[in-house]
């Protein structure tokens, strides 16, 4: 009996060794690839070798997301005090990494701008105001925004919003003026200007929130959002335009549920939406990043293992954890969870490799 168990254990070990030997990847290499897929938020105006974020970048972290204020204490600075300090911080962050680090921020304009005029940055009006003032105003506005980002050492902007302002009562996009308008024509026109101005400064743009958040009744920061009865195919038109014209760097998923697209999962965790619709039907070959996976639309319904497994297998290439909560999540926890799921063959190693290839291609362009 004991001998049989030893034989089984030996065969079990051989099986796992072969799984990775065939792919020619060591444990360390796989962990590094997983790390590259993660974007983390952290606290700190500067960084040194004792800081967790320093160690994470050394371990191969793909990117960071910066915020101005600490959401748990609005009187405290999280990452951004002023232009000079921010430039110093981004230089420190990039110097730690031996690869190009994705240094990102939410800078749309209006209510969503982490770089405030009170801290010495340019003020950007909300999207709907920009659209109302015309193309020349849009070019001037987004040229100034892009230069601000460039001078601050930021290489990725989670903008523009390409959601259509379909539902006038929508509290997360429409009533906040974050959409360029109801028609896809207006949204395409002004988001194109935004993307072009970012590109001139070698800044990665991120179209959001796929497959469309402008018709929703709820806010995915606060919980489950069902768009099954409000979403329409025309919400895909901006994505079609950018993909067909090869003008998109990155796309961000929305934590919205649509039973007509996937009966089981919200978009961020949906193979039907992220692979079958976005990749296969619309032909998107670039990087797909999740919206913040700590938002309650996800975290209330799925644990970390379920979230990571579903997101990666659905076709998401980068996993965003903004760490805006009192208890931050660590890179080690994410990497260990994903690696264990790769060993269990619950997460496809091929998907990890593919994601790294997509990320490398995107970063090489910039």
Which pLDDT does position 94 carry in this prediction?
A: 97
How far, CA to CA in Å, does 360 sit from each of 196, 354, 364? 21, 10, 6
Report whether 133 contacts 199 (CB < 8 A). Answer: no
Tens of pLDDT, residues 7-60: 344 444 444 544 544 458 999 999 999 999 999 999 999 999 999 999 999 999
Q: Which residue has the tokens 């979230």?
A: 307
Tens of pLDDT, residues 281-294: 999 999 999 999 99
SS3 assignment, position 75:
strand
Tens of pLDDT, residues 173-198: 999 999 999 999 999 999 999 999 99
- What letter would DSSP give residue 76? E
Residue 88 has pLDDT above 50, yes or no: yes
Which pLDDT does position 24 carry in this prediction?
A: 84
Pick from 290, 288, 292: which is nearest to 328 by CA? 292
Residue 218 has pLDDT above 80, yes or no: no
Position 106 confidence tier, pLDDT thresholds 50, 70, 90: very high
How far, CA to CA in Å, does 239 sit from each of 101, 116, 222, 245? 26, 29, 26, 10
Q: Which of 34-43, 127-136, 181-190, 216-225 has the lowest mean pLDDT?
A: 216-225
Tens of pLDDT, residues 293-352: 999 889 999 999 999 999 999 999 999 999 997 688 999 999 999 999 999 999 999 999
Residue 238 has pLDDT above 90, yes or no: yes
* Average pLDDT of every residue of the chain: 92
């Amino acid at each position: 009996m004991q001998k049989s168990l030893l034989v089984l254990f030996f065969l079990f070990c051989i099986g796992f060794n072969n799984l990775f030997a065939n792919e020619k990847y060591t444990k360390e290499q796989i962990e590094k690839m997983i790390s590259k897929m993660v974007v983390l938020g952290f606290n700190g105006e500067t960084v040194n070798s004792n800081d967790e974020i320093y160690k994470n970048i050394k371990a191969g972290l793909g990117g960071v997301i910066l915020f101005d204020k600490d959401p748990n204490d609005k009187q405290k600075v999280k990452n951004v005090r002023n232009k000079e300090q921010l430039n110093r911080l981004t230089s420190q962050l990039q110097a730690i990494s031996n690869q190009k680090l994705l240094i990102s921020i939410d800078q749309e304009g209006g209510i969503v701008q982490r770089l405030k005029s009170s801290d010495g940055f340019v003020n950007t009006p909300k999207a709907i105001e920009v659209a109302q003032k015309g193309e020349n105003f849009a070019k001037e506005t987004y040229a100034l925004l892009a230069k601000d980002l460039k001078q601050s050492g930021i290489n990725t902007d989670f903008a523009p919003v390409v959601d259509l302002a379909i539902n006038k009562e929508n509290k997360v996009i429409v009533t906040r003026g974050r959409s360029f308008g109801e028609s896809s024509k207006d949204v395409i026109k002004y988001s194109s200007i935004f993307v072009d101005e970012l590109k001139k400064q070698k800044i990665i743009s991120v179209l959001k929130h796929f497959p469309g958040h402008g018709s929703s009744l709820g806010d995915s920061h606060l919980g489950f959002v069902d768009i099954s009865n409000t979403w329409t195919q025309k919400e895909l038109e901006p994505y079609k335009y950018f993909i067909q014209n090869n003008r998109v760097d990155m796309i961000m998923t929305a934590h919205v549920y649509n039973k007509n697209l996937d009966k089981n999962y919200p978009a961020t965790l949906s193979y039907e939406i992220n692979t079958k619709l976005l990749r296969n039907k619309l032909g998107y070959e670039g990087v797909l990043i999740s919206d913040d996976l700590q938002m309650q639309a996800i975290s209330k319904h799925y644990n970390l293992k379920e979230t990571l497994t579903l997101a990666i297998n659905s076709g998401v290439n980068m996993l965003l954890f903004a760490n805006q909560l009192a208890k931050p999540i660590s890179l080690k926890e994410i990497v260990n969870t994903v690696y264990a799921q790769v060993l269990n063959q619950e997460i496809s190693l091929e998907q990890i490799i593919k994601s790294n290839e997509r990320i490398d291609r995107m970063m090489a362009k910039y």
